[in-house]
A and B are shown apart, each in its own frame.
Chain A
Amino acid sequence: KAGVTQTPRYLIKTRGQQVTLSCSPISGHRSVSWYQQTPGQGLQFLFEYFSETQRNKGNFPGRFSGRQFSNSRSEMNVSTLELGDSALYLCASSLHLGQPQHFGDGTRLSIL
């Protein structure tokens, strides 16, 4: 069974640009969550989607948004990028809400 797939693996952007990250969950998993990992703040929850609806949201500004498609694939968008958005963005999927989550390798975003 293929794991959680995140694309791209690496991204370099400049301040003010926007970026879209993609996540394909494990087949059959319907819940997708996103996390930001930085050396200073650790792993922080961004949001969670289930059945194309956002079910939970973390404490991030509105520049961070996401969506989920009918096939459970998810995208995360960050607009007006700031230097502090440089991080590893992790996607996790689970069969259902509240179930153990399986993580992808992440997308490393660097802002210049």
Chain B
Amino acid sequence: AQSVSQHNHHVILSEAASLELGCNYSYGGTVNLFWYVQYPGQHLQLLLKYFSGDPLVKGIKGFEAEFIKSKFSFNLRKPSVQWSDTAEYFCAAMEYNQGGKLIFGQGTELSVKP
């Protein structure tokens, strides 16, 4: 079955630390991949997306993600986190050309200590 798994349930970092959140998907065919962020009390916002082309994609607020097809992974990175990055992060996959059904990972809660 199609699924998305995120390795970390809760990550705690100090400001200026580097961040990497793992995401793996299991799909047989071509997928579009997304990272969404949910700040406390706010709606889900799109951080970045991968459809095709350069496997290293850059998103908003200094985030980037790398698509590694051989590893079925789409890890999210940020070189230096800020307290304002405290939020829940969701990885999601959409099977190519099969409409807009998003399959989400369980989410990773990131807490950044000032």
Which residues does A use to contact B, with CB under 8 Å?
Answer: 3-4, 31, 33, 35, 42-45, 48, 50, 55-56, 58, 90, 92, 94, 97-106
Contact count band on B: 20 to 34
New contact pairs (17) apart from A33-B101, A33-B102, A35-B102, CB-CB < 8 Å? A42-B106, A43-B90, A43-B104, A43-B107, A44-B104, A48-B100, A55-B100, A56-B98, A56-B99, A56-B100, A92-B44, A92-B102, A98-B100, A101-B100, A101-B102, A103-B43, A105-B42
For the complex, what is the distance from the CA of A99 to the CA of B104, rounded to whole Å? 16
For the complex, what is the distance from the CA of A100 to the CA of B45, rounded to whole Å? 10
Residues of A within 8 A of B49 (CB): 100
Q: Contact: A48 with B43, CB < 8 Å? A: no
Q: Contact: B99 with A55, CB < 8 Å? A: yes
Q: Which residues 46-100 of B sit at the A interface, judged by CB distance below 8 A? A: 46, 49, 90, 92, 94, 96-100
B85 to chain A, nearest CB (A): 19
Q: Contact: A98 with B94, CB < 8 Å? A: yes
Residues of A within 8 A of B45 (CB): 103
Given contacts A42-B107, A43-B90, A98-B94, contact A56 B43 (CB under 8 A): no
Name the residue of chain A whose CB is nearest to the CB of B90: A43
A76 to chain B, nearest CB (A): 15
Q: Contact: B104 with A56, CB < 8 Å? A: no
For the complex, what is the distance from the CA of A75 to the CA of B98, rounded to whole Å? 22
B33 to chain A, nearest CB (A): 11
B50 to chain A, nearest CB (A): 11
A39 to chain B, nearest CB (A): 10
Q: Contact: B101 with A56, CB < 8 Å? A: yes
Name the residue of chain A whose CB is nearest to the CB of B94: A98
Q: Contact: A48 with B44, CB < 8 Å? A: no
The 5 closest A-B pairs by CB, nearest first: A43-B104, A103-B44, A56-B99, A56-B101, A105-B43
Question: Counting CB contacts under 8 A, is B103 at the interface?
Answer: yes
